[in-house]
């Protein structure tokens, strides 16, 4: 992904597999993943198997927002990939916005 200008805000990239939902915060300038959260993360998946649905998408959105606040990041770019803005993607985005992250 080549840009003519520098992007100052990190990007929240959402990936959906057949069973799981992943959210990555990517710094495109340094080409690094700053933090991530998913249905297979320890803080989400405590003892039982957790698969992707709207409830877990909200938990992932809240979790990623808390991680962003700890890093002092309050503005991001939302990248939903090839997914439509509906269901789990919308639930994750709404939960992230509810925690005070702006995009």
Domains of the chain, earliest start first = 11-98 (3.30.420.100)
Mean pLDDT estimate for the chain:
91
pLDDT band at 47 (very low <50, low <70, confident <90, very high): low
Per-residue pLDDT at 42 = 87
pLDDT exceeds 60 at position 54? yes
| Mean pLDDT (whole number) for 90-101 | 97
DSSP sequence for 8-47:
-S-EEEEEE-SS-EEEEEEETTTTEEEEEEETTSTTT-SS
| Mean pLDDT (whole number) for 40-44 | 87
Q: What is the pTM of this model?
A: 0.88
Strands 21-27 and 11-16: antiparallel
| Mean pLDDT (whole number) for 35-52 | 84
| Mean pLDDT (whole number) for 63-76 | 96
78: left (phi over 0), alpha (psi -120 to 50) or beta: beta
Per-residue pLDDT at 49 = 73
pLDDT exceeds 60 at position 10? yes
């Amino acid at each position: 992904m080549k840009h003519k200008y520098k992007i100052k805000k990190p990007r929240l990239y959402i990936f959906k597999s057949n069973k799981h939902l992943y959210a990555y915060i990517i710094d495109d300038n340094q080409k690094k993943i700053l933090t991530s959260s998913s249905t297979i993360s320890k803080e989400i998946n405590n003892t039982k198997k957790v698969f992707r649905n709207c409830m877990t998408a909200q938990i992932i959105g809240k979790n990623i927002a808390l991680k962003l606040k700890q890093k002092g990041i309050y503005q991001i770019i939302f990248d939903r990939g090839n997914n439509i803005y509906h269901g789990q993607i919308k639930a994750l985005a709404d939960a992230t916005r509810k925690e005070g992250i702006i995009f």
